[in-house]
């Protein structure tokens, strides 16, 4: 019942037997005393390498990644890490670059991939090694919640090591601007949200900052509105690979709600990335934005304090639900440096690695044994919510969607952000539904 597909040579190398075997071979060969002496040659040992591919370039994201690199370097000081990042939130740009590399047979050793349905895209294409045995050997199956372990399984195997859980359905707001309109609490329902937006507008304050430059900001906002409109139980059916739920009148209603939200937002959406939009809220240039809690990571990276310099609430209408997504790393089939990649995956799943990464990234650890002292009030609340709320998967971040579907989902919503044509968007969403099967 072996689950890994390493060749014997790779397995020996990966699990440390290659070096021992080589040492034994060296001992077995006696020095050749009779040979003429050779001039001394400079040692030609090429530095070992590890290439990690991700889209973590913004404040918080990059800090978290570097913190994990530091842990790796402390364990493997002789390895040079190649930090291969391609900017663009949600990986909209990175995934295209990765596809080209994979198609050309030039994989990085390990790449960022969302746990859940997104992983299926790489598994089906035969681009990843299964990690079920590795997972057990490391004891990761004992320290991660059963819910998450289930999400990692495809065809009975685990393929990636999750480093975190992010929450997608979060409304970030500027408390000083809230005070300016006399609001005591953040909005809890969509009606309250729009009533407040109206007040901001009257006060000459931009109610919502929304991006579009990273080509996922509209779909990100939309997934929260879908959840608020359908409720967690029906929302999940939107991702079943059929257009049934997209024919439900609530689908058009959700698009109309998004259109209404855009009417209170900046019109230069295509010019702003998610981090620019969040920065507008942090700097008091806009009142609110809906974004995953990597936006909290951005706040942390700017030295700001949550619940003081900026506030948060679940996206209105979704208070009972935690929309989750998880960043993970896998092992490339044909990885140029498999031994180093295995070391990296050990760090990814370790308590030390996760406790270094997550407090900076704005996410909670995938492990259940974090050192809570390291986590701020928001993250502690998020850990509690993940354990107690209903869980719904994020389509914009691969928990419930394949890469093929996601690309269309992002694109349809970015087009909608510009043309506001709900009929066209709805038709495109119905047509795209089947792409979530491949
Ligand atoms: C998500 C990813 C997060 C964060 C975000 C913005 O897809 O899971 O870790 O990086 O994109 O870039």
Instruction: Show the 3-state SS of the chain.
Output: CCCCCCCHHHHHHHCCHHHHHHHHHHHHCCCCCCCCCCCCCCCCCCCEEEEEEECCCCCCHHHHHHHHHHHHHHHCCCEEEEEEECCCHHHCCHHHHHHHHHHCCCCCCEEEEECCHHHHHHHHCCCECCCHHHHHHHCHHHHCCHHHHHHHEECCEECEEECEEEECCEEEECHHHHHHCCCCCCCCCHHHHHHHHHHHHHCCCEEECCCCCCCCHHHHHHHHHHHHHHHHHHHHHHHCCCCCHHHCHHHHHHHHHHHHHHHCECCCHHHCCHHHHHHHHHCCCEEEEECCCHHHHHHHHCCCCECCCEEEEECCCCCCEEEEECEEEECECCCCCHHHHHHHHHHHHCHHHHHHHHHHHCCEECCCCCCHHHCCHHHHHHHHHHHHCEEEECCCCCCCCCHHHHHHHHHHHHHHHHHCCHHHHHHHHHHHHHHHHC
Q: 167-323+396-437 adopts what CATH topology? A: D-Maltodextrin-Binding Protein; domain 2 (3.40.190)
The pLDDT value given to residue 47: 86
pLDDT tens-place string over residues 103-141 = 999 999 999 999 999 999 999 999 999 999 999 999 999
Residue 1 has pLDDT above 70, yes or no: no
pLDDT tens-place string over residues 264-304 = 999 999 999 999 999 999 999 999 999 999 999 999 999 99
- Nearest of 292, 243, 163, 269 to residue 405 by alpha carbon: 243
The pLDDT value given to residue 398: 98
Q: Give the CA count within 13 Å in the CB-facing half-sphere of 426.
A: 19
Residues with CB under 6 A from ligand 1: 55-56, 61, 89-91, 114, 166, 292, 294, 325, 327, 397
Confidence grade of residue 46 (pLDDT, cut at 50, 70, 90): confident
Q: Give the CA count within 13 Å in the CB-facing half-sphere of 332.
A: 24
Q: For atom 11 of ligand 1, which residue has the closest CA?
A: 90
Residue 14 has pLDDT above 50, yes or no: no
**CATH topology identical between 8-18+48-165+326-386 and 167-323+396-437:** yes
- Nearest of 315, 318, 292 to residue 392 by alpha carbon: 318
Report CA(89)–ligand 1 centroid distance (Å).
6
pLDDT tens-place string over residues 303-349 = 999 999 999 999 999 999 999 999 999 999 999 999 999 999 999 99
Query: Does the predicted model carry a pTM greater than 0.75?
Result: yes
Report CA(362)–ligand 1 centroid distance (Å).
11
**Across 23-36, average pLDDT:** 35
Paired tokens of 179? 């005070």
Distance CA 82, CA 262 (A): 40
Measured CA distances, 23 to 8, 20, 31, 123 (Å):
18, 5, 14, 36
Ligand 1 atom nearest to CA at 327? 8
Q: Is the pLDDT higher at 417 or at 43?
A: 417
**Across 228-252, average pLDDT:** 98
Ligand 1 atom nearest to CA at 54? 10
Q: For atom 7 of ligand 1, which residue has the closest CA?
A: 90
Report CA(154)–ligand 1 centroid distance (Å).
22
Helix 274-282 vs helix 217-235: angle between axes, to the nearest 10 degrees?
90
Distance CA 235, CA 230 (A): 5
Ligand 1 atom nearest to CA at 363? 9
Ligand 1 atom nearest to CA at 114? 8
The pLDDT value given to residue 334: 98
Distance CA 436, CA 118 (A): 9
Ligand 1 atom nearest to CA at 398? 7
Distance CA 269, CA 64 (A): 27
pLDDT, mean over the chain: 92
The pLDDT value given to residue 7: 43
Report CA(31)–ligand 1 centroid distance (Å).
56
The pLDDT value given to residue 44: 57
Distance CA 43, CA 207 (A): 63
Give the total residue count for the chain. Answer: 438
Distance CA 190, CA 317 (A): 6
Ligand 1 atom nearest to CA at 164? 9
Report CA(61)–ligand 1 centroid distance (Å).
8
Domain boundaries, the chain: 8-18+48-165+326-386, 167-323+396-437
Q: Is 4 exposed, middle or buried (0-12, 13-18, 19+ CB in 10 A)?
A: middle
Distance CA 39, CA 130 (A): 47
Distance CA 326, CA 152 (A): 10
Ligand 1 atom nearest to CA at 89? 12
Paired tokens of 297? 């990571």
Burial 236-251 (b: 16+ CB within 10 A, else e): bebbeeebebbebebb
Q: Answer whether CATH 3.40.640.10 is correct for domain 8-18+48-165+326-386.
A: no
Paired tokens of 104? 């050309």
Report CA(46)–ligand 1 centroid distance (Å).
34
Paired tokens of 375? 């986590």
- Residue 112, beta-bridge partner list: 329
Most informative mutation of 60, 166, 272, 293 for ligand 1 (most atoms within 8 A of CB): 166
Q: For atom 8 of ligand 1, which residue has the closest CA?
A: 327
Report CA(185)–ligand 1 centroid distance (Å).
28
Report CA(57)–ligand 1 centroid distance (Å).
10
CB 370 within 8 A of CB 359: no
Angle, vertex CA 346, rays to CA 343 and CA 349, nearest 5? 150
């Amino acid at each position: 019942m072996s689950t890994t597909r390493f060749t014997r040579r790779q397995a020996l190398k990966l699990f440390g037997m290659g070096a021992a075997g080589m040492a034994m071979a060296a001992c077995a060969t006696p020095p050749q005393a009779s040979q003429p002496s050779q001039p001394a040659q400079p040692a030609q040992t090429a530095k070992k390498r590890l290439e990690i591919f991700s889209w973590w370039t913004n404040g918080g994201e990059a800090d978290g990644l570097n913190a994990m690199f530091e842990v790796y370097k402390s364990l493997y000081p002789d390895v040079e890490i190649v930090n291969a990042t391609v900017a663009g939130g949600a990986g909209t740009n990175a995934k295209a670059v990765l596809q080209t590399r994979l198609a050309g047979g030039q994989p990085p050793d390990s790449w960022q991939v969302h746990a859940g349905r997104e992983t299926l895209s790489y598994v089906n294409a035969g681009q990843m090694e299964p990690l079920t045995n590795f997972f057990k050997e490391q004891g990761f199956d004992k320290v991660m919640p059963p819910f998450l372990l289930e999400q990692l399984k495809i065809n009975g195997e685990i393929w990636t090591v999750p480093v975190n859980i992010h929450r997608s359905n979060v409304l970030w707001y500027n408390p000083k601007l809230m005070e300016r309109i006399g609001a005591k609490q953040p909005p809890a329902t969509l009606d309250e949200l729009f009533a407040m937006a109206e007040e901001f507008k009257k006060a000459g304050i931009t109610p919502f900052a929304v991006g579009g430059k990273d080509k996922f900001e509209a779909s990100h906002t939309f997934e929260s509105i879908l959840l608020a409109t359908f409720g967690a139980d029906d929302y999940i059916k939107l991702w079943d690979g059929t257009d049934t739920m997209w024919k439900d009148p609530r689908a058009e209603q959700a698009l109309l709600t998004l259109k209404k939200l855009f009417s209170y937002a900046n019109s230069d959406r295509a010019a702003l990335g998610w981090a620019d939009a969040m920065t507008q809220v942090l700097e008091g240039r806009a009142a609110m934005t809906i974004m995953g809690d990597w936006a909290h990571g951005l706040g942390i990276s700017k030295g700001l304090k949550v619940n003081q310099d900026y506030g948060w609430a679940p996206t209105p209408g979704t208070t009972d639900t935690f929309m989750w997504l998880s960043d993970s790393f896998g092992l490339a089939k044909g990885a140029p440096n498999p031994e180093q990649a295995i070391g990296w995956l050990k760090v990814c799943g370790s308590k030390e690695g996760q406790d270094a990464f997550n407090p900076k990234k704005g996410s909670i650890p995938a492990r259940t044994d974090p050192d809570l002292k390291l986590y701020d009030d928001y993250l502690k609340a998020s850990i509690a919510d993940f354990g107690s709320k209903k869980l719904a998967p994020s389509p914009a971040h691969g928990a419930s969607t394949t890469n093929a579907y996601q690309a269309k989902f992002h694109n349809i919503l970015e087009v909608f952000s510009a043309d506001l044509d709900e009929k066209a968007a709805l038709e495109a969403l119905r047509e795209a539904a089947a792409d979530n099967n491949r």
